Structure 1
Amino acid sequence: MTETLPTEANGNGVQSLVLIAEDEAEIAEILSAYLNRSGLRTAHAADGRQALELHRAVKPDLVLLDVQMPYVDGWQVLSQIRQRGDTPVIMLTALDQDIDKLMGLRIGADDYVVKPFNPAEVVARAQAVLRRSAMRPTTPVSRILRADVFEIDLDHHEATVRLGRKRHLLSLTLTEFKLLTHLAKAPRQVFTREELLVHCLPEGDTQERTVDSHISKLRKKLEILGVIGIPANVRGVGYRFGSSA
């Protein structure tokens, strides 16, 4: 359900649209009422799958995203949204541990609200995030990622390796491409298996050892070309782009 009120607008002169991804109908209705009263349009998704579908279909200006949702949890939804673009996201959750807050912010959340919350505070935070979003530079960002011998085309999902004067197009699965891209974006950072699981693996994969399998297959494809040590294993922690990155 989407409602429209004739006040606060986004940069295109249209009332800003907030996607509420929340499986508790009562909470979603309260948030919607408060947001509408403040001049914002709303749409509601009752689970993670629907949230991703609506995000693609209605292109909201902001997402209020619950962590604990059916089918696809909030962490995975946030990761998918970040892979698609920079839609602002405020996490809504009953989890109040610092590690959970850091997890959300590290994946790319713009703000974090712990339940139970005051709906008026959520509206204020939503308006603040929307204002910050409107002030972001509009200059297009390059969609070509370069790291070491790699050139990764994010728009066309192609990765090439340059060795001397030759360029080799890599034949990667979608998961292998996501893993390589995610590691290459922060080549010095060590990512845990859990982080890579959330960011890069398909919905339904919940076993951390699955990450090891995909990394091993990616590494073998690179070794055939003579690229050794990428991705690198950091014993007891996880993986990073390369041992000398």
Structure 2
Amino acid sequence: MKRATILIADDESEIADLIAIHLEKEGYRTVIVADGAAAIRTVQTQEIDLAILDIMMPKLDGHEVTRQIREKHVMPIIFLSAKTSDLDKITGLVIGADDYMTKPFNPMELVARVNAQLRRSLSLSQPAHTSASVVEAGGLVVDPDNRSVLLYGHDVELTPKEFDILYLLASHPNKVFSAENIFQQVWGESYYGGGNTVMVHIRTLRKKLGETHHPIIKTVWGVGYKFNG
């Protein structure tokens, strides 16, 4: 069985080496780079299964690296940063990261999060016995196999988490989902105050979908959100 390859992008060599030691003990192959430009080159030239990115890096910061990765790749991304505010975490998740850990950190917890993200990534990539259904409503077409969204014939570029939220809601058009339920199903983790994260993702989804008088995602006050296609 092929060993998963983890990209570690951090200009603090001691931290990068510590992460690599723990991941390699777990059986992973690691690639270490010290700046954002090198991280992009590595993703373009090697098969990377998961990326761990520091936010404050030379040449390109973690946010820009994530934006560029997300243009062509759906690999899990974990941010590792000294920034600890909720706004920093939400910004990272909205940009396209799958998880966010703050420094200082427990290396074993990071390994556990890597394991969890790769398990989820593997399960999503496995072919199902039957293809998931394309959702069509009004001018909206959501295709889970190609992970594409069309609105009146125009492509709508979504981050992986934005797509997952939209498909979850759109495939259950009469069901109201609480923020807790959306977080648990999309992030695959126990809810630990992720309501703000869900709210911000819903807000950016609405902006990208260009909603006006007929919101595609409707807020059910005091309960959650539902698809209103």
TM range (shorter): 0.5 to 0.7
**1:57 alignment partner in structure 2:** 45
**2:110 alignment partner in structure 1:** 122
Instruction: Give % identity.
Output: 35
Deviation at 1:160, TM superposition (A): 10
Q: Any conservation in 2 of the 1:48–1:73 contact (CA below 8 Å)?
A: yes
**2:23 alignment partner in structure 1:** 35
Distance in 2 separating the partners of 1:160 and 1:90? 30
Q: Any conservation in 1 of the 2:151–2:209 contact (CA below 8 Å)?
A: no
Distance in 2 separating the partners of 1:75 and 1:145? 31
Match of 1:14, SS state, is coil
**Are positions 1:105 and 2:83 aligned together?**
no
Deviation at 1:85, TM superposition (A): 2.3
**Are positions 1:135 and 2:129 aligned together?**
no
Match of 1:136, SS state, is helix
**2:210 alignment partner in structure 1:** 241
Match of 2:124, SS state, is coil
The 3 A distance-change label for structure 1 pair 111 and 189 is closer
Deviation at 1:181, TM superposition (A): 3.3
For residues 17-28 of structure 1, the aligned pairs below 5 Å read: 17-28=5-16
Match of 1:72, SS state, is coil
**1:78 alignment partner in structure 2:** 66
What one-letter code is carried by the residue in structure 2 that aligns with 1:24?
A: E
Name which of 31, 49, 55 aligns with 1:67.
55
What one-letter code is carried by the residue in structure 2 that aligns with 1:97?
A: S
Deviation at 1:190, TM superposition (A): 4.5
Distance in 2 separating the partners of 1:98 and 1:160? 32
TM-score, normalization: structure 1? Answer: 0.56
Deviation at 1:108, TM superposition (A): 2.5
Distance in 1 separating the partners of 2:10 and 2:88? 18
For residues 68-217 of structure 1, the aligned pairs below 5 Å read: 68-139=56-127, 181-182=157-158, 190-191=203-204
Deviation at 1:40, TM superposition (A): 0.8
The 3 A distance-change label for structure 1 pair 131 and 240 is closer
Match of 2:157, SS state, is helix
The 3 A distance-change label for structure 1 pair 160 and 106 is closer
**1:222 alignment partner in structure 2:** none
Match of 1:135, SS state, is helix
Deviation at 1:100, TM superposition (A): 1.3
Deviation at 1:89, TM superposition (A): 0.9
Residues 157-184 of structure 1: per-residue CA shift (max 9 Å, x gap): xx9976xxxxxxx9xxxxxx8xx63599
Larger radius of gyration: 1
For the aligned residue pairs, the C-alpha RMSD in angstroms reads: 3.8
Deviation at 1:28, TM superposition (A): 0.8
Q: Any conservation in 2 of the 1:18–1:41 contact (CA below 8 Å)?
A: yes
Match of 1:90, SS state, is strand
Distance in 1 separating the partners of 2:208 and 2:126? 34
Give unpaired runs (5+ residues) of structure 1. Answer: 1-12, 163-169, 171-176, 193-231, 233-237
Distance in 2 separating the partners of 1:17 and 1:160? 36
The 3 A distance-change label for structure 1 pair 47 and 160 is same
Q: Any conservation in 2 of the 1:19–1:62 contact (CA below 8 Å)?
A: yes
What one-letter code is carried by the residue in structure 1 that aligns with 2:76?
A: P
